[in-house]
Structure 1
């Protein structure tokens, strides 16, 4: 079922979700993200070529053109982040790793040159993602989107001031490593997200995710950390504004 953007925003606002980041993962969806952010005052945009798409585009000789278009889109003031970019070793084999790393480094360059936050997609690639971040110039704000690491990656993020954005996966019963990471994360480095329409929080796992379900994840995160819910929400809002700026 296709939900119109205005309806999705209204449903989110009804449960206290004041705004959202529309994230592009290829040229087409990045163009849509920029349009949505300019059409709606409570939407901001992020633009990128997803690592899996980077590998596929490289095979066709089309990656550089796509990155150039992302760089153009990134200049829009409503674009506050570059990403999802990074590495995905789950869906892309070794033959695509070099293309992913090249794309990641190009997105890093764009984020630094344009003063945007960086949103990282890191799947089964923690060591190489950290290696690249540590040997590259970085923008002021680095976000691990859909944080999927455990205690060790949380400690690395704490040490480097990198943000950890948790999605509905943290509520799953078998996500012990994620909950340990959540407990260790510095409060000023915590973010929350949907990754809609994926990663729907318990007890709605399996249904399409949307911004109006964020409260389920937030409540779970606050309970896991033993935090006061109102104070925790205020901290998340402050962190979000620190990364993405005002709407």
Structure 2
């Protein structure tokens, strides 16, 4: 039996944005499903979301779903764990999808050395191609980096990063955060930043400048404390906003406002100033 979703928290005092979620993996298939998820999110103060693809089917769906509800935008790419076979057909399709009116990022792409699904060489080749695509399309690059910090930074340096780089579900320590901040990259914090044993991540979250962080759910994964292990959904980003505010010893409304303003700048979204 599937675990029950966490309760919808009290509405944030200022609207925020979930910068990385997977609405299809949350169970959404239709426009009505998407609207229901976004209604729950909005009731918690999460005004908009970016739904992210990990394979071609998900990319097609994300681009389409972003047209069903004005609160939804999309990012498309091929996940590094799915790059074992990444040929001309896949590249052509991704290039077509990034031209969608509501596609706001190339992602998620990068390197994943935790899972043994795609050889590192294939991942790096695909990563380099996605970096080039982001530059050609004039879109931010949304990076998946799991146990591959040094190679991710090296490849970015070798290829030359696009104007905007987002480290989705940032998982590095304070030193990694300092290097990313110095390079001008944006760090996106998921529910992991609220985990009590994530001390290195806590330290990283405290030092990131206000203009260089985002909040995400990566739903249905990485549900914030105290509901770790339950199914995640975009409304749970409100728990992470509160957890991040506590870590940084800042007002909840200030963190929520920074998250919103940064997401609007990074993804070039129209401004929302009220919940």
Same-fold call, TM cutoff 0.5: yes
- For residue 23 of structure 1, the aligned residue among 42, 52, 64 is 52
CA distance in 1, matches of 2:162, 2:83: 21
1:77-108 deviations in Å (ceiling 9; x for gaps): 21110011000000027x70110001001111
2:88 alignment counterpart: 64
Would the aligned equivalents of 1:51 and 1:87 in 2 still touch at CA under 8 Å?
Answer: yes
1:40 alignment counterpart: 69
- For residue 166 of structure 1, the aligned residue among 172, 189, 192 is 189
1:128-183 deviations in Å (ceiling 9; x for gaps): 00001111132211000000000111001110110000000111111011101101
Would the aligned equivalents of 1:47 and 1:70 in 2 still touch at CA under 8 Å?
Answer: yes
1:48-76 deviations in Å (ceiling 9; x for gaps): 10000012x2xxxx533212211110011
- For residue 77 of structure 1, the aligned residue among 101, 106, 117 is 101
Partner SS for 2:67: helix
Report the CA distance between 1:6 and its aligned residue.
1.1
Unaligned 5+ segments in structure 1 are: none
- Please list every run of at least 4 consecutive aligned residues from structure 1 whose deviation after the TM superposition is greater than 4 angstroms: none
Would the aligned equivalents of 1:82 and 1:119 in 2 still touch at CA under 8 Å?
Answer: yes
Superposition pairs of residues 5-24 of structure 1, within 5 angstroms: 5-24=34-53
CA RMSD of aligned residues (A): 1.3
1:1-32 deviations in Å (ceiling 9; x for gaps): 84511110100011111110010111000001
Q: TM-score by structure 1 length?
A: 0.94
CA distance in 2, matches of 1:121, 1:68: 21
2:12 alignment counterpart: none
CA distance in 2, matches of 1:149, 1:67: 30
CA distance in 1, matches of 2:235, 2:258: 19
CA distance in 2, matches of 1:105, 1:177: 29
Partner SS for 1:128: helix
- For residue 145 of structure 2, the aligned residue among 98, 104, 122 is 122
Would the aligned equivalents of 1:112 and 1:137 in 2 still touch at CA under 8 Å?
Answer: no
- For residue 136 of structure 2, the aligned residue among 110, 113, 116 is 113
1:151 alignment counterpart: 174
Report the CA distance between 1:187 and its aligned residue.
1.2
Superposition pairs of residues 181-192 of structure 1, within 5 angstroms: 181-192=204-215
CA distance in 2, matches of 1:64, 1:177: 40
CA distance in 1, matches of 2:215, 2:207: 15
CA distance in 1, matches of 2:87, 2:206: 39
CA distance in 2, matches of 1:150, 1:220: 17
Partner SS for 1:212: helix
